[in-house]
A = this chain, B = another copy of it.
Amino acid sequence: MINKIVTNVEEAVQDIFDGATIMISGFGEAGSPIELIHALIDQGAKDLTIVSNNTGSGEVGLAALIAHKRVKKMICSFPRTANSTVFPELYKKGEIELELVPQGTLAERIRAGGAGIPAFFTPTSVGTPLAEGKETRVFDEITYVMENAIKADFALVKALKADRYGNLVYNKTARNFGPIMCTAAKTAIVQAEQIVELGDIDPECVVTPGIFVKRVVKITNPAQESKLVAENRRYPW
């Protein structure tokens, strides 16, 4: 029987290894799998490459993972957000690497990784410093830059509902990077607020087909990052 539900976050992240590449869903706090990230901090894996749009805020979630020096390199589009101090400090000291990628190119590189497309051409960033050193080519008189797929060993993703096949739906703009990250990671690990029976999710409305998901853990009331930050909380607490 196929059953992707695991009992707790510890079990969900137990095999994440040093040096792994991990995609983490979320745009700001929306869709950020904060409980899975905290479990990863407890688990101890280090030298990680993290693919995520931002770098977290305060000292919880992704920012806490970075603060604990577990992250060797960030691949992201916008490392500088409100209340993000951890990444900027380490970056200025030269203690963390940054690969800055335009947001749409980041999304498309992840989607390509999941779709078996090793590289593609995009007009984004042509003529800017972010295209420097990259191959360009002209199609129909317009110049495009070649970008490579990004794949990951793991994805940590937040969803609203899941079933035992791993089918997922998300909540509003918390959907953001989750669906494509599930496709691009060898092992997609999902925290969902609700676990439902097979068939409870309308087959016309499934956003992430279960084939892209390896593990699901139920987190009924996920923490809200901005509240934790406002309360000056730090993980581990």
Q: Which residues of A contact B (CB under 8 A)?
A: 108, 112, 115-123, 137, 139-140, 142, 144, 148, 169-170, 172, 202-205, 207
CB contacts (< 8 Å) of A144 on chain B: these are: 118-119
Task: Determine whether the beta carbon of A123 is less than 8 Å from that of B112.
Answer: no
On whether the beta carbons of A118 and B121 are closer than 8 Å, the reply is yes
Report 5 cross-chain contacts, Cβ distance below 8 Å, ordered by A residue.
A112-B120, A116-B123, A117-B121, A118-B144, A119-B144
Cα A139 to Cα B135 in complex, Å, equals: 14
Copy tally for this chain in the complex stands at 2
Q: Given the known A-B contacts A202-B205, A205-B204, A205-B205, are A122 and B112 also in contact in the complex, defined by CB atoms under 8 Å?
A: no
Whole-angstrom CA separation of A123 from B143 in the bound complex: 24
Q: Chain B's nearest CB lies how many Å from the CB of A64?
A: 30
| Bound CA–CA A204/B122 (angstroms) | 28
